[in-house]
């Protein structure tokens, strides 16, 4: 478990860097494009390749591939792992090329149809960025192989290349070349494609240092068949998840021209702590779970699962409390400039509050689904995702009228809660010791320490509000000082309550 904690720390550090660069990207796009229809159209268009990324890359296929890679490594060594990676990549490239041709044709038809101008605009941008799907899907498979070899750093940096490329492209477009919103948006699309290329090439070179050599191989082994069989139900589950996102953004786009962008920015703030800690935890836990199953060490499996859940709570609960307390200051500091107005900040803050409440549940789902995937059960997560999708759609339609974008955020949260409960209950029916009762004491200490932290954060923020002047420096102090004070109080509170950090991590 000590090694597990160290790996989580490494991935968290690199993921933090990725998220910080991601925030810089969002600050740049909000400055350049604001909450305009062009920004909402790009976000809607870029959702499409990311849908297939989750279907074919980071989602279903990776989940089906990882247990088989672990078994190949356990039984036949690295050469067999490299062979399976090449076979999987070869078929993946063919599938991605076919899908790209179909989607580009469909988007062309949509452009020529009698639709609202903003939907035609989203289709036009979609034709530019959809080929990104091939780049990121290949990158996801390469990153999975690196994770198997305990090379967690490079995969954790994947998003850095995309976000850095977008920041640089928008910087060139905005600060050096000028141009209208349309021109800047096309530069944004170009930056996304360059970033995708880097996302594929960097892990490829890293895996080559592990002895892998790319080879086009359409051979069908028993492992390839098993990966395909496990991928099919996983595709449905990942499809439901991504369609869920697309439906929410589509409904938001229908609410107003700015709603999709505001929901996106609010969700990005929540994704920072969730991505840094929860995704890092599940990324490191996944190979450990698959290795435990491959070695028939189910006691280790149960222990790793509980540890993953506890570590998610350890980070998600204080992050949610802090984000709720500082939402106005954080949104103002990061986004309120250029075309992103004070009114946009006011509209974003309630969305941040709602999404923050759901942070622990988003974290749980990430660990729980990987527990199922390590058991080669890709069907149960599909059912849970389908139920969550139905809950989200029904609640969204009921709440978007009276509550607008806030109603959509509430629906998303409630769906995540339903999915979390379903997954944990189903995992407990597999004759595994996955009970969380032993964590009750630590959970209570985490909650009390987070409540104390929240009180201190609000107190420090209130004290500084009468002393800090408006401006970048003042706003930065208003955000960073309460965060640093809150972190210190939280971990000190845990220590005083008997929840020793070393014990929690080990």
Per-residue H/E/C for 20-62:
HHHHHHHHHHHHHHCCCHHHHHHHHHHHHHHHHHHHHCCCHHH
Residue 302 in tokens: 């149960």
Q: How remote is the C-alpha of 55 from its chain's centroid?
A: 14
Q: Is the confidence at residue 502, as pLDDT, over 60? A: no
- Rounded to 5 degrees, φ, ψ at 250 are -65, -45
3-class secondary-structure state, position 404: coil
- Average pLDDT score over residue span 36-53: 81
Prediction pTM value:
0.69
For residue range 108-136, list pLDDT tens digits in order: 887 777 666 777 788 888 888 899 989 98
Count of alpha carbons within 13 angstroms of residue 218, beta-carbon side: 4
DSSP 438: G
CA atoms within 13 A on the CB side of 312: 26
Residue 57 pLDDT: 65
Question: Alpha helix (H) ranges present in 211-258?
Answer: 222-255
Mean pLDDT over the full length of the chain = 82
- Where is average pLDDT lowest: 9-13, 130-134, 263-267, 347-351? 9-13
Q: Is the pLDDT of residue 489 over 80?
A: yes
| Whole-number Å distance between alpha carbons of 32 and 415 | 33
pLDDT tops 90 at residue 170? no
Are 249 and 46 a contacting pair, CB within 8 Å? no
Q: What integer is the mean pLDDT of 315-322? A: 90
Task: Tell me: pLDDT of 387 over 80.
Answer: yes
Residue 68 binned pLDDT confidence (cut-offs 50, 70, 90)? confident
Q: At a CB cut-off of 8 Å and minimum separation 6, what does 237 contact? A: 59, 60, 378, 381, 382, 384, 385, 386
4 falls in which pLDDT band (50, 70, 90)?
Answer: low
**pLDDT tens figures, 186-196:** 888 888 999 99
**Alpha-carbon dihedral of residues 245, 251, 252, 253, nearest 10 degrees?**
110
Q: Please tell me which residue, 505 or 434, carries the higher pLDDT value.
A: 434
Band of the pLDDT at 98, cuts 50, 70, 90? very high
Closest among 138, 156, 158, 134 to 147, alpha carbons compared: 156
Tokens for 391? 């809950």
10 Å CB burial of residue 171 (0-12, 13-18, 19+) is middle
* Average pLDDT of the segment spanning 25-35: 79
In whole angstroms, give the CA distance from residue 157 to residue 132.
17
95, 127, 196 from 104: Cα distances, Å:
14, 6, 18
Average pLDDT over residues 235-261: 70
Q: What is the pLDDT of residue 448?
A: 92
- At 438 the pLDDT is 81
Contacts of 273 (CB under 8 A, 6+ apart): 315, 316, 319, 320, 323, 359
Distance CA 156, CA 68 (A): 22
């Amino acid at each position: 478990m000590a090694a597990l904690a160290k790996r989580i720390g490494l991935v968290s550090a690199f993921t933090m860097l990725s998220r910080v660069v991601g925030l810089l990207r969002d600050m740049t796009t909000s400055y350049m494009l604001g909450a305009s229809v062009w920004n909402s159209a790009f976000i809607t268009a870029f959702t499409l390749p990311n849908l297939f990324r989750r279907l074919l890359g980071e989602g279903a296929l990776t989940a089906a591939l990882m247990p088989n890679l672990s078994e190949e490594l356990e039984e036949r060594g690295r050469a067999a792992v490299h062979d399976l990676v090449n076979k999987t990549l070869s078929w993946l490239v063919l599938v991605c090329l076919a899908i790209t041709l179909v989607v580009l044709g469909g988007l062309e038809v949509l452009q020529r149809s009698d639709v609202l101008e903003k939907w035609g605009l989203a289709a036009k941008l979609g034709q530019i960025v959809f080929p990104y799907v091939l780049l990121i899907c290949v990158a996801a498979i390469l990153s999975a192989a690196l994770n198997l070899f305990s090379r967690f750093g490079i995969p954790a940096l994947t998003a850095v290349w995309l976000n850095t490329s977008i920041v640089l492209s928008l910087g060139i477009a905005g600060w050096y070349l000028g141009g209208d919103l349309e021109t800047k948006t096309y530069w944004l699309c170009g930056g996304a494609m360059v970033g995708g290329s880097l996302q594929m090439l960097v892990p490829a070179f890293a895996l080559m240092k592990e002895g892998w050599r790319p080879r086009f191989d359409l051979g069908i082994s028993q492992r390839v068949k098993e990966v395909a069989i496990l991928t099919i139900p996983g595709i449905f589950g990942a499809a439901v998840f991504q369609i869920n996102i697309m439906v929410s953004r589509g409904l938001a786009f229908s609410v107003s021209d700015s709603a999709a962008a505001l929901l996106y920015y609010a969700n990005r703030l929540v994704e920072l702590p969730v991505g840094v800690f929860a995704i890092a935890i599940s990324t490191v836990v996944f190979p450990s779970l698959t290795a435990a199953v491959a070695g028939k060490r189910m006691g280790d499996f149960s222990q790793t699962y509980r540890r993953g859940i506890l570590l998610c709570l350890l980070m998600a609960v204080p992050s949610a409390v802090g984000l709720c307390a500082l939402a106005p200051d954080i949104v103002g500091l990061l986004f309120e400039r250029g075309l992103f107005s004070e009114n946009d900040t006011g509209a974003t803050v309630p969305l941040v509050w709602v999404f923050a409440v759901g942070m622990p549940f988003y974290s749980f789902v990430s660990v729980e689904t990987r527990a199922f995937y390590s058991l080669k059960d890709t069907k149960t997560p599909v059912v849970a995702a389908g139920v969550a999708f139905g809950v989200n759609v029904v609640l969204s339609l009921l709440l978007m009228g009276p509550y607008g974008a806030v109603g959509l955020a509430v629906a998303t949260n409630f769906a995540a809660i339903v999915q979390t409960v379903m997954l944990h209950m189903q995992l407990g029916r597999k004759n595994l010791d996955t009970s969380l009762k032993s964590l009750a004491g630590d959970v209570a200490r985490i909650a009390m320490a987070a409540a104390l932290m929240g009180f201190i954060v609000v107190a420090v923020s209130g004290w500084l509000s009468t002393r800090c002047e408006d401006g970048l420096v003042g706003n930065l102090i208003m955000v960073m000082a309460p965060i640093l004070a809150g972190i210190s109080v939280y971990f000190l509170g845990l220590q005083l309550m008997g929840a020793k950090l070393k014990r929690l991590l080990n």
